Chain A
Amino acid sequence: MMAAVLTAAAGEPTADLATYQQHIKPMLDRTCAECHSAKVQKGNFRVDTLDPDIVHGKTLHGWEEVLNKTQVLEMPPPKHAIQPTSDERQKLLSWLRQELRLAAKVHSSTGGQGAMRRLTRTEYVQSMKDLLGVTIVDFGQGFPEENRNRETGFANDSREMSFNTTHLAVLLDRARAGLAEALVTGNKPPGMKASLKAAPGHINNVDKRKGGPTDDVLLSTVFDLPTKVPAHELPHLNGPISILDGAISLPRGYRDMNGAYTHGGGIRWHIGPYKDIPRTGELRVVAKVSGRPDGDQVPHVRVDIGYLGSLMSPHLFVGQTLVTSATPVEIEFRMPWQLLAQPDLGNVIFIRHTEPDLLMEAMATRAMEARYLPDPKVKIAKPNPVLLLHEVTVELPYYESWPPPSHVSIVGSDSVDDAEGIKRILARFMQRAWRRPPIADEIATYAEFHLRTRAKQPGPVEALRETLANVLIAPQFIYFTEPIRDGAQRSPLNAWALASRLAYGLTGTLPDSALQAACEKGDLTSDAGLRREAERLLADPRSDRLLLGFADAYLGLQALDGVNINPEFFTAVEPGPLKDAMRDEARHFLATVFRKNLPSASLINADFLVVDRRMARHYGIPLVPGNDFVAVPAAGSGRQGGILHLSAVHLMNSTGEHSHPIKRAVWFRRNLLDQPPGDPPPAVPSVPEDFSGLSLTQRLIAHRNKDACRDCHASIDPYGLPFEGYDPTGLPRNEAKGRYFVFDMAGGRHTVWTGQAIECTSTLPDGTAVTGLDDLRAYLGGATKERFDRTLLNRLASYLLGRTMEFSDQPLLDDVAKRWTDAGGGTRDLVLALVLSPLFRTR
């Protein structure tokens, strides 16, 4: 019934009065009226005056009270003689939940216009990076996390967004920090450049105290400092270096349990401290490397940086890249130099040879050795990939050019010390930031501010920084300004507002210059112009932000943050990295389907998996080359494609130790079918102790058979049980792992591991019998496919528009659905259909 109402062709829903008359009223009259009507009003409450039209009536609160009291069996009081039958109670509860949900939707309606929203934290960070051309400032620092919409779980919902003094203070602080980097004064700061390469027979200041075996390297440094650096303060190397084929061969490094590289591996290059080198700009390391893989083991080059003086000091990860080329290639690593905030301490730069999966593998090998090879003298043959370092240079601070491109792109050829020049700079900057051409008054206002500020600041650039910071805290930057008048009909957005929606929707950032040009040319609002721009942006790599971001929102991947794999339950996996890999797998799967414009059915039953080396290793299928995610055929892999089989889905709906069929079921209904079950009632009765000892399925059945729980759980659990064939890490299983502890006489605790039979058969509320996830997948792609598609469409619309879809949007959503079908029914077609539809182009 709910489905029918939600997908009704037009506008307002109507209350379900027929059910009230037929089932609800007779029951209320029989079981409640005695104490709660005209004659007696216990608790000052009457049921006979409650308006059966919950959706439009004024007695919402009273009905909520009925729901609360009934679902926890508080009313009628258990000792009361007249009780509703179990069936009556369920009818009442499901009617109430359905009508209250409708009422909530109607009451929150904005007539399909939504509220003006501001940039989300993510959008803000990306906009600032692109606008200022600054990558080394953390623009998200201090910016509060967004609230999520209860229904969709989306973080970009206009109704949920708050703005308070913290936001204002953070925006100002980040704008100033960004502009301090973007706009520069004076000459290029002093710095240094050091390089290193193998040079047989060469002798220099390699530190031999730590066993440095070779003089066969050439280390040279060029300083651009006001004072001369004494010889004993020159950069030097530490640790052994071996030479192979005229290059430096780096031994493979191992990580300890915490993921830190404490064993072996590479070069330690000591630098500084040099007080004359300011902590601005970037550190740049360029490594010229070649690699020789051995079997499926491929070398990676990794750069970290730490402080001199203590092995325990924090090391910052700079970057890591796969090296497959047999001929030398140059790889660049950059990081903000200011992140290393202790100017008194010198730094050590680590250049290492690593293999990201190594710990996983080393642990498995160790476990195997312990079990099968009790003799420690027997060694397993280990693969021996080689990483050669031909030359490496370190530069700090590094600037591509001076003044840096960020400065040039803002200032251009204008003078910062001239009123007209400032106006031109402001006009350009305001147009990009505010996503529309500023009017003359606005430019004048900021120019005037600049003039006042100029007198108080040391120089013109400082005054310009302060002025532009103000442009970046203006509501014209922070909000999507799509002005409409009260009571106005839906009307088309102007080109600039449309460009803003399009750019943030498809690329997560401000309109680029081509899009601005389309606005100026005036053809963006035409079908052809909009299609051209949308297709251009969808082909741009930046549209990954839409696809990956939508994957996060649609699948609710943020739930992964709240779950950690317990390594005691799942040995041979490295919990942290595996969780990250699972998240990436889910994102890339969704992105692959959209990129290839596959139909929505592929989301459910793709005949391929999208895996990288980490996930391939986890699934026990042949490793894929490289570090990237690639599609591989599902056939023959022993795994199924599709979102139900994503291990991220299994993990995030688990406890990290045990699977959680209820969470999995709620996820299935809420995220894929837009049919969330009601919230658990307050004071949900806890599972009685005499249940313990039963299997999970048995406990669920027992729980479901209690009156207070039955109504909800009869429509939840059946969707979760089919997932039981998969453990929390997404691997198939025949039994569930459990454990308990026994205590010995001395008080010691011992873990006992158990295997518990699993049950993955259930009967769905509509009578469909399903066994296992494959059956549920067939059901999703069959009986509920239409609803699945509609949910996908609704969620994508919510994501692109930054608001929850309302009843009044239904006709426009129907229009999108038709356009989608007409366009061919592919997932990329869906994005285009949405963008080209009146829903997206009007407000």
Chain B
Amino acid sequence: MTFRIDRRTVLKSAAATIALPLLDAMGWAGDAAGNGPVKPPARFVSMNYGVGVPLPPPGHAHRDTWSWFPTQTGRDYVLSEIHRALAPFRDRLTFISGTDHHLARIADGHSCTAQWLTGARPFGKNSISIDSLIADRTAQEVFQPSLVLTGSGSPENTNQPRARTFDARGQAVPAQCDPRKTFELLFGRDAKSIERQRAVLAQEHSVLDLNLSQAKALYAQLGSTDRQNMDQHLEAIRASEKNLIRAESWLDKPRPTVDAKVDAWTSGYGTCKDRVQLERFYANHVETIALAFATDSSRTAQFTLMPESNHGSPSSLLGLMDNHGISHDSGNPDYYKNWGLWAQCMSDQVGLLAKRLSELKEGDGTVLDHTIILFGSQTSDVHWNRNYPTLLVGGEKLGLKHGRHLRYPDGNFGNVLATLLTCYGIDEPRFANADGKIAELFTA
């Protein structure tokens, strides 16, 4: 990949703007030296949150105003109050209702989060998630191939079994809750000299080498049951080794300089005191994703806005009940409205990301043209792990056609994932137990 960014380029950015047109900085449109345009890379974002979405039954007073899925299918759908932030993108999005992972049906909706992006069978070994698969294909080209983010600072939610991102061996990839840490990882300037950094990395190499030799010595003495646990350890060493090699390879390459105000939220939304802070917290995460994509530092992001647990219950920052309570408060006349207000806050974040990406011009369009946002969850109604809430935004230059509500009763969510993979040149017809592709996504 040609990398023509000027190291002194300074991108001024509050949570609202990046001043420079990045397409020039990145060289997607060609440069003065006569190098031709380069096709911008394909990106993928998945965003999700836990404990379901409101789906008022037919005849309910809030049916049209607070239903996550539009009540109409086809082209003439109307967005409910929930998706107010997506109104400007009404013709750039597609709702898909009726699908689920059939293998995950054995678990209740709270217990199969880990399978949302993998389609594996719950309670067993997991398989690779779609974001990891896409990231792995471009791992050599970008600084930090994938971002794995979460809103909750609770350790249990950054680890198994509530993770959403899994590597090729089915191991959970830990998630970061603090947008400042992500920003530092991507754009932080190490005060140490390159030589000093290289020496530090070399030391870490020798530490890993020693650990690997010890682990192998132990491995040789073990039976197969024990080896399964030791495999995890060996894999952790190999993955750490890969990270070191990557860090070393980027020591000499130019990295964009980005000045942006991203605050530290050390406990995720647990740090937030009110709604204003919660929205700023999410905006900081969204901004970091946008900056990572704009500078081509990353190509995939998985962002769990709120995990499938009651921990921290950010809904209380909106003056609502706790998250799990909202979903079960069916005796309340405002049941769907209250739930919808929370769903709206979640959808707002997707709207914000779509807006930011659509403002970032590159090549012959905007970053959003080359980014597919998958927004959804594996829980729809109360505890119900069918009819996954699913919404696709953007990615027209990757082939997607939009502006519809597609409905596939008893459909296979794996087919959605396998179809999306083809936008990244990945043909895995059986990915996530897919048994077909959804041709409608590519036809007007």
- Known contacts A164-B171, A168-B237; A475 and B108 CB within 8 A of each other: no
Q: Are B240 and A682 in contact (CB under 8 A)?
A: no
For A689, the chain B residues whose CB sits under 8 A away are: 330-331
For A445, the chain B residues whose CB sits under 8 A away are: 210, 213-214
For A681, the chain B residues whose CB sits under 8 A away are: 108, 383
Write out, one digit per residue, whether chain A residues 109-147 have a CB within 8 A of any chain B CB (1) or not (0): 010011111100000000000000000000000011101
Complex Cα spacing A114 to B160, Å: 20
Write out, one digit per residue, whether chain A residues 181-224 have a CB within 8 A of any chain B CB (1) or not (0): 00000000000000000000000000000000000000000000
Least Cβ–Cβ distance between A482 and chain B, in angstroms: 8
Is A473 an interface position by the 8 A CB rule? yes
Is A476 an interface position by the 8 A CB rule? yes
Q: Are A692 and B233 in contact (CB under 8 A)?
A: no
Least Cβ–Cβ distance between A491 and chain B, in angstroms: 12
Task: Tell me which residues from 101 to 123 in chain B have a Cβ below 8 Å from any Cβ of chain A.
Answer: 105-106, 108-109, 111
Task: Tell me which residues from 63 to 118 in chain A have a Cβ below 8 Å from any Cβ of chain B.
Answer: 64-65, 68, 110, 113-118
Pick the contact of A483: B207, B214, B222 (CB < 8 A). Answer: B222
Which of A24-32, A155-163, A664-672, A775-783 has 4 or more CB atoms under 8 Å from chain B? A155-163
Q: Are B172 and A162 in contact (CB under 8 A)?
A: yes
Is B247 an interface position by the 8 A CB rule? no
Q: Are B218 and A147 in contact (CB under 8 A)?
A: no
Write out, one digit per residue, whether chain B residues 145-172 have a CB within 8 A of any chain A CB (1) or not (0): 0000000001110111100000000011
Q: Are A484 and B232 in contact (CB under 8 A)?
A: no
Which of B2-10, B223-231, B349-357 has 4 or more CB atoms under 8 Å from chain A? B223-231
Which residue, of B156, B236, B382, has the highest number of chain A Cβ atoms within 10 A? B236
Q: Are B108 and A682 in contact (CB under 8 A)?
A: yes
Complex Cα spacing A114 to B223, Å: 11
Q: Are B229 and A118 in contact (CB under 8 A)?
A: yes
Q: Are A163 and B229 in contact (CB under 8 A)?
A: yes
- Known contacts A165-B243, A483-B221, A682-B385; A475 and B215 CB within 8 A of each other: yes
For B224, the chain A residues whose CB sits under 8 A away are: 486
- Known contacts A474-B211, A689-B331; A683 and B225 CB within 8 A of each other: no
For B422, the chain A residues whose CB sits under 8 A away are: none
Complex Cα spacing A687 to B328, Å: 9
Q: Are B385 and A686 in contact (CB under 8 A)?
A: no
For B172, the chain A residues whose CB sits under 8 A away are: 162, 164
- Known contacts A68-B105, A116-B222; A682 and B383 CB within 8 A of each other: yes
Complex Cα spacing A474 to B385, Å: 42
Is A479 an interface position by the 8 A CB rule? yes
Complex Cα spacing A143 to B243, Å: 19
Q: Are B236 and A168 in contact (CB under 8 A)?
A: yes
Task: Tell me which residues from 207 to 257 in chain B have a Cβ below 8 Å from any Cβ of chain A.
Answer: 207, 210-211, 213-215, 218, 221-226, 228-230, 232-233, 235-237, 239-240, 243
Of all chain A residues, the one with the shortest Cβ separation from B382 is A686
Of all chain B residues, the one with the shortest Cβ separation from A441 is B217
Complex Cα spacing A488 to B172, Å: 32
Which residue, of A117, A164, A172, A687, has the highest number of chain B Cβ atoms within 10 A? A164
Complex Cα spacing A147 to B154, Å: 12
- Known contacts A168-B240, A484-B226, A488-B223; A562 and B218 CB within 8 A of each other: no
Of all chain B residues, the one with the shortest Cβ separation from A65 is B105
Task: Tell me which residues from 34 to 85 in chain A have a Cβ below 8 Å from any Cβ of chain B.
Answer: 61, 64-65, 68
For A683, the chain B residues whose CB sits under 8 A away are: 381-384, 386
Q: Are B211 and A470 in contact (CB under 8 A)?
A: yes
Is A753 an interface position by the 8 A CB rule? no
Complex Cα spacing A692 to B329, Å: 11
Is A449 an interface position by the 8 A CB rule? yes
Least Cβ–Cβ distance between A111 and chain B, in angstroms: 8
Is B174 an interface position by the 8 A CB rule? yes
Complex Cα spacing A485 to B223, Å: 5
Q: Are A479 and B159 in contact (CB under 8 A)?
A: no
Q: Are A144 and B225 in contact (CB under 8 A)?
A: no
Is B194 an interface position by the 8 A CB rule? no
Is B310 an interface position by the 8 A CB rule? yes
Q: Are B383 and A684 in contact (CB under 8 A)?
A: yes
Is A169 an interface position by the 8 A CB rule? yes
Write out, one digit per residue, whether chain A residues 415-459 have a CB within 8 A of any chain B CB (1) or not (0): 000000000000000000000000000000110010011001000
Complex Cα spacing A169 to B208, Å: 10
Complex Cα spacing A479 to B225, Å: 14
Interface band, chain A? 35 or more
Complex Cα spacing A166 to B311, Å: 21
Complex Cα spacing A320 to B65, Å: 55
Q: Are A116 and B230 in contact (CB under 8 A)?
A: yes
Is A167 an interface position by the 8 A CB rule? yes
Q: Are B211 and A473 in contact (CB under 8 A)?
A: yes
Complex Cα spacing A473 to B218, Å: 13
Q: Are A161 and B229 in contact (CB under 8 A)?
A: yes
Least Cβ–Cβ distance between B102 and chain A, in angstroms: 9
Is B35 an interface position by the 8 A CB rule? no
For A485, the chain B residues whose CB sits under 8 A away are: 223
Pick the contact of A166: B109, B174, B229, B328 (CB < 8 A). Answer: B174
Which residue, of B222, B237, B382, has the highest number of chain A Cβ atoms within 10 A? B222
Write out, one digit per residue, whether chain A residues 568-598 have a CB within 8 A of any chain B CB (1) or not (0): 0000000000000000000000000000000
Q: Are A682 and B239 in contact (CB under 8 A)?
A: no
Of all chain B residues, the one with the shortest Cβ separation from A164 is B236
Least Cβ–Cβ distance between B120 and chain A, in angstroms: 13
For A166, the chain B residues whose CB sits under 8 A away are: 158-159, 174
Q: Are A481 and B331 in contact (CB under 8 A)?
A: no
For B214, the chain A residues whose CB sits under 8 A away are: 445, 474-476
Q: Are B229 and A117 in contact (CB under 8 A)?
A: yes
Which residue, of A113, A168, A445, has the highest number of chain B Cβ atoms within 10 A? A168
Least Cβ–Cβ distance between B388 and chain A, in angstroms: 12
Is A402 an interface position by the 8 A CB rule? no
Is A691 an interface position by the 8 A CB rule? yes
Least Cβ–Cβ distance between B259 and chain A, in angstroms: 26
Complex Cα spacing A488 to B225, Å: 12
For A470, the chain B residues whose CB sits under 8 A away are: 207, 210-211
- Known contacts A679-B108, A683-B384; A115 and B206 CB within 8 A of each other: no
Pick the contact of B174: A164, A453, A679 (CB < 8 A). Answer: A164
Task: Tell me which residues from 182 to 218 in chain B have a Cβ below 8 Å from any Cβ of chain A.
Answer: 199, 203, 206-207, 210-211, 213-215, 218
Write out, one digit per residue, whether chain A residues 466-481 have a CB within 8 A of any chain B CB (1) or not (0): 1001100111101101
Is A747 an interface position by the 8 A CB rule? no
Least Cβ–Cβ distance between A479 and chain B, in angstroms: 7
Task: Tell me which residues from 226 to 254 in chain A have a Cβ below 8 Å from any Cβ of chain B.
Answer: none
Complex Cα spacing A28 to B311, Å: 43
Complex Cα spacing A721 to B105, Å: 32
For A169, the chain B residues whose CB sits under 8 A away are: 240
Complex Cα spacing A452 to B202, Å: 12
Write out, one digit per residue, whether chain A residues 280-323 have a CB within 8 A of any chain B CB (1) or not (0): 00000000000000000000000000000000000000000000
Pick the contact of B310: A110, A143, A562 (CB < 8 A). Answer: A562
Q: Are A449 and B331 in contact (CB under 8 A)?
A: no
Complex Cα spacing A166 to B199, Å: 22
Q: Are A144 and B382 in contact (CB under 8 A)?
A: no
Pick the contact of B160: A162, A488, A680 (CB < 8 A). Answer: A162
Q: Are B386 and A682 in contact (CB under 8 A)?
A: yes
- Which 3 residue pairs are nearest across A and B when measured between Cβ atoms? A116-B226, A683-B384, A686-B330
25 inter-chain pairs at a CB distance below 8 angstroms, sorted by A residue, are A113-B223, A145-B155, A147-B160, A147-B161, A164-B235, A165-B239, A166-B158, A166-B174, A168-B240, A445-B210, A452-B206, A466-B203, A470-B211, A473-B207, A474-B210, A475-B215, A476-B214, A479-B229, A483-B223, A488-B223, A680-B108, A682-B105, A682-B384, A684-B382, A686-B330
> Interface residues, chain A, CB within 8 Å of chain B?
61, 64-65, 68, 110, 113-118, 143-145, 147, 158, 161-169, 172, 445-446, 449, 452-453, 456, 466, 469-470, 473-476, 478-479, 481, 483-486, 488, 562, 679-684, 686-687, 689, 691-692
Supply 9 further A-B pairs (C-beta < 8 A) apart from A145-B155, A470-B211, A682-B384: A115-B225, A164-B159, A470-B210, A474-B210, A474-B211, A481-B218, A481-B221, A686-B328, A686-B382
